[in-house]
Amino acid sequence: MRKSYKFRLYPTKEQGIILTKTLDVCRYIYNEFLADRRNAYDRCNRGLNILDQINQVKYLEFNIPVQSQVKQDVIRRLGKSFDAFFRRCKSGEIPGYPRFKSKGRYNSFTYPQSGFLIEGTKLKLSKIGTIKLKQHRGIEGKIKTCTIKRELDQWYAVFSADLGKCPIKVEPITSIGIDVGLNSCVTLSNGEQFDSPEFYRKSEKSLTVQQKRLSRKKKGSENRNRQKSKVVKVHRKIRNQRLDFNHKLSRILVDRFDRIVFEDLNINNMVKNHHLAKSISDVAWGQLIQMTKYKAEETGKFVELVNPYNTSQMCSGCGTLVKKSLAVRTHKCPECGLELDRDHNAAINILNLCTVGTTGRACGVMDNSSGNEAGST
């Protein structure tokens, strides 16, 4: 079981220059060996593998020293891009041939085994030096890799740690069904609701002003580059606010309940509705579900996904289908007289679907150990 830890780095001005030059070297290696692969296929009708190119990269020399394993990891990264390309070709998806990386599209490099060491409040990097590290929490397990990442004008260290075997699954005692929505971010089957903070919509006015100013700047000018950074900073703030909210909400859910049941939504298709796309992206359902999954996996708890078909239309009291549009926010059953909030009714149905599935009928269950859907029995 792997877990990642992300910490802020505070390099000096000189160290920032070295980090930027290291990124430029890695980007150059990526583009050069991507061109080699393309040319080998076009001219000789043969492909190059990772081992072939790793044997070549050690002969390259640059103005600044770069650790050998960092350069080798760039080749492995390129290999993963081609593996994903061939996988998409075989599965009939849009292939998306690996692209050359421009200056703003290559923002990280990795020490895959060694060359890094945490010394108190400092991070020692091979060929770079010792950089101030803000380690706001401890690291569990054994650190396997260290990735240095640039986000505009900020630098981060991301450590991947091996925690060993997954914890033993607990016997679920408390279960909850969750309906994700737009008016309320989530509605629980016990009636609780967590309102959507709508970070994007609150920052939309500021973002519009910055984007208008960007559109007036001459392309390729320094003024345009500076203004582009301001736009990116607004987006970064929205992203960080959304991450913080979903981290806290997923932690609340995992701490309180042993089994958490969501709808198995196809969010990619849902955002094709241009009337709802902005609101769906703003609440970030997929991010919340993913965070809840890995937090539950760490504690031996369960996150399960059920078929969302008719969960909003079905009466949770008697099972009668009560058709209603999205504008109707209250569920009123003409058969049993049940009247409650539409999202609360859906959340109860979601929990009931999982309960039925575990007693013999099919229930879409997310296997926490593998990340694949499995049938619950």
pLDDT in tens, 189-244: 999 999 888 899 999 999 999 999 999 999 989 999 999 999 999 999 999 999 99
Predicted confidence (pLDDT) at residue 375 exceeds the cutoff of 70 = no
List of residues 6+ apart from 144 with CB closer than 8 A: 2, 113, 160, 161, 162
Would you please indicate which residues are annotated as catalytic (active-site) residues? Answer: 179, 263, 343
* Closest listed residue to residue 31, CA positions, set 126, 105, 89: 105
What's the pTM value of the predicted model, to 2 decimals?
Answer: 0.83
Over range 299-317, report the average pLDDT. Answer: 89
CA distance 159 to 148: 9
Q: What is the mean pLDDT of the chain?
A: 88
Count CB neighbours of 72 within 10 A.
20
Over range 176-200, report the average pLDDT. Answer: 90
Over range 294-302, report the average pLDDT. Answer: 90
Q: What's the pLDDT at 362?
A: 34
Of all residues in the chain, the percent with pLDDT exceeding 70 is 94
Predicted confidence (pLDDT) at residue 91 exceeds the cutoff of 70 = yes
SS (H, E, C) 45-59: CCCCCHHHHHHHHCC
pLDDT digits (tens, 9 = 90+) for 4-17: 999 999 999 999 99
Predicted confidence (pLDDT) at residue 334 exceeds the cutoff of 50 = yes
Of all residues in the chain, the percent with pLDDT exceeding 90 is 62
Q: How far from the centroid of its chain's Cα atoms is residue 365's Cα?
A: 20
pLDDT digits (tens, 9 = 90+) for 342-371: 899 999 999 998 865 543 333 333 443 333
> Which domains does the chain carry?
2-162 (no CATH), 175-375 (3.30.420)
Over range 14-29, report the average pLDDT. Answer: 95
Over range 50-76, report the average pLDDT. Answer: 91
Q: What's the pLDDT at 374?
A: 36
Over range 85-111, report the average pLDDT. Answer: 93
The dihedrals phi and psi of 358, each to the nearest 5 degrees, come to -80, -10
CA distance 364 to 374: 7
